[in-house]
Structure 1
Amino acid sequence: MTIKTTKWDAAEFLNSKEEILAYLEAAFEDGDPSGIKLALNNVARARGISDLARETKISREGIYKALSEDGDPKLSTLLSIVKAFGLNLSVRDLEHA
């Protein structure tokens, strides 16, 4: 008997703002730039790239490129995308976190 598997896609499970926030917080806490970019990509796809493009005034292609494996988003792009998710970035002291 053959076992059939399907590719797991995190974007399919990010259904609420709370889930998105927890997912992105974990990615940022880990601190790996490629992991952060992947998490942002997954959230962008969960929210809808076309809607995100309209909100950020960044082309769909620009979003795909910035959040691709080889992408390196500018700070302004990152901030626009995070703001469109209804979130913001903040800084905290690691010694007292």
Structure 2
Amino acid sequence: MRTYRSHDDYLDKVLTNPKEAARYLNAAAEENDQALILAALAQVAKANGLSKTAKMASLSRMGLYKTLSKKGNPEFKTFLGVLNASGLQMSFRPMV
């Protein structure tokens, strides 16, 4: 019998790879939807461990959780901190 994993379990495994996390965040960013980008960033942080990500981003675990919640509105500094803690950096490209 096949064993099935939940979508979140699959993402938690895949998004620990910085290349996959970058692809995931880029796909979310292409939608130009702040809520979607925030949800994707939260999923990447969760995959890498909220406590570890929070510590590396100089935040408390609860502070990170609140910042990345649906009602969260992270400061740019926090956004970059979570990216860096996940082994990622931001880059820009022209719109085509």
Instruction: Please say whether Structure 1 and Structure 2 have the same fold, judged by a TM-score greater than 0.5.
Output: yes
Question: In the TM superposition, what is the alpha-carbon distance from 1:88 to its structure 2 partner?
Answer: 1.3
> In the alignment, which residue of structure 2 is the partner of 1:3?
none
Take 1:56 and 1:35, find their aligned partners in 2: how far apart are those partners? 21
> In the alignment, which residue of structure 1 is the partner of 2:33?
32
Give the 3-state SS of the residue equivalent to 1:30 in structure 2: coil
Question: In the TM superposition, what is the alpha-carbon distance from 1:12 to its structure 2 partner?
Answer: 4.3
C-alpha contact (below 8 Å) 2:14/2:21 kept by paired residues = no
* Cα RMSD after superposing both structures: 1.8
Question: In the TM superposition, what is the alpha-carbon distance from 1:85 to its structure 2 partner?
Answer: 1.4
Where structure 1 has 5 or more consecutive residues not aligned to the other structure, the ranges are: 1-5
Residue identity opposite 1:68 in structure 2: S
Structure number with greater Rg is 1
Take 2:12 and 2:32, find their aligned partners in 1: how far apart are those partners? 20
TM-score by length of 1: 0.82
TM-score by length of 2: 0.83
> In the alignment, which residue of structure 2 is the partner of 1:72?
73
4+ residue runs over 4 A deviation: none
Give the 3-state SS of the residue equivalent to 2:70 in structure 1: coil
Residue identity opposite 2:50 in structure 1: I
> In the alignment, which residue of structure 1 is the partner of 2:59?
58
Which is bigger in relative contact order (C-alpha 8 A, separation at least 6)? 2
> In the alignment, which residue of structure 2 is the partner of 1:81?
82
Quote the sequence identity (%).
Answer: 38
Take 1:19 and 1:33, find their aligned partners in 2: how far apart are those partners? 20
